[in-house]
Amino acid sequence: MLERVTDLSATDWIRKNVLSLENSASRSGNYVEHCIPAIYEAYGKIFHNMYEDTSVDNKTVTWDDLHKQKPVDLGDPLQTVLHDATKVYGGECEKDPDKLIRIRWKELSDRYGLQYHADLNVESFTRSFPTQSWPRYLTGPDEGMLEGSTCKEIVKSIATATSDFDLSQECFFLYDLIATTNYESDLLYRGRLKSVFDTYQLDDISSTPTYWWPIDQTWLVCTDWDLPFTLIGGSEKLISTIMSNHELECLPVAPTNRIDYKSDTINR
């Protein structure tokens, strides 16, 4: 069961140990160490799921093409944001779950002649598409949202690496301000490791936890609101266990790996 914690001092260690974002975007970009403190033995980058819609026969039709057929009111700020997002990652429409097949980042990289490596980002794919609009048959990864199935596999890997098979270790679950619905303050909860599954039913939040970690701070999971992948820091054993989980698509990274939309300097 989750317990709301009003004293946010338990999060201070993260703020004090991550690299400050101040002026970093205007200088050289954002890196793993802006999200996860550079205090761990190893780090991993877990790509969020993408899907291929097998009901779409014409692979040349793009999400922009679909949008042109269904114009939106761009005077509405929300619709403007959704419109801009559609240009990059694909859009939302009625889908038949039975027609959606997960496509891994590695498979999509091979399909479009891209090198699969740790700094790969959605922009790598966007640049490779003829009109820089995602094909309609693809649904890109969610930003700031960890699918339940992926979360389950991460928990399974943590349990295996830490011998916490009853998922009982005490953990904190933090939502940054932008991941809440009222935008008044960060929200912090405390519970067992298995309580992460209860976070999907919380009120006043709009995504999965920005951060979650055990009381002893031996690992840290970060799903930033602006990233289509989740970062995790911990022991070599933990990251190795995650890497060996075939349900997860994870690559090892270092604190100095770049994570913003300009991260991929190989696939130009």
- pLDDT, tens digit, 9 for 90 and up, residues 93-110: 555 677 899 999 999 999
Residue 19 has pLDDT above 90, yes or no: yes
User: Which pLDDT tens digit goes with each residue over 47-92?
Assistant: 999 999 999 999 899 988 876 765 555 566 655 555 554 444 665 5
The whole model's pTM is what? 0.89
Spatial neighbors of 41 by CB under 8 A, at least 6 apart, are: 234, 235, 236, 239
Average pLDDT over residues 168-196: 94
User: Which pLDDT tens digit goes with each residue over 250-268?
Assistant: 999 999 999 999 999 999 8
Packed helices 236-243 and 148-162: angle between N→C axes, nearest 10 degrees? 140
Average pLDDT over residues 152-181: 96
Average pLDDT over residues 11-34: 83
At residue 93, what are phi and psi to the nearest 5 degrees? -155, 175
User: Which pLDDT tens digit goes with each residue over 100-143?
Assistant: 999 999 999 999 999 999 999 999 999 999 888 899 999 999 99
What pLDDT shows up at residue 64?
84
> Taking Cα atoms as reference points, which of 121, 78, 79 lies closest to residue 226?
121
Q: What is the DSSP letter of 137?
A: T
User: Which pLDDT tens digit goes with each residue over 207-223?
Assistant: 889 999 999 999 999 99
**Burial grade of 94 (CB within 10 A; 0-12, 13-18, 19 or more):** exposed
What pLDDT shows up at residue 89?
64
What pLDDT shows up at residue 97?
74
d(CA 92, CA 259): 25
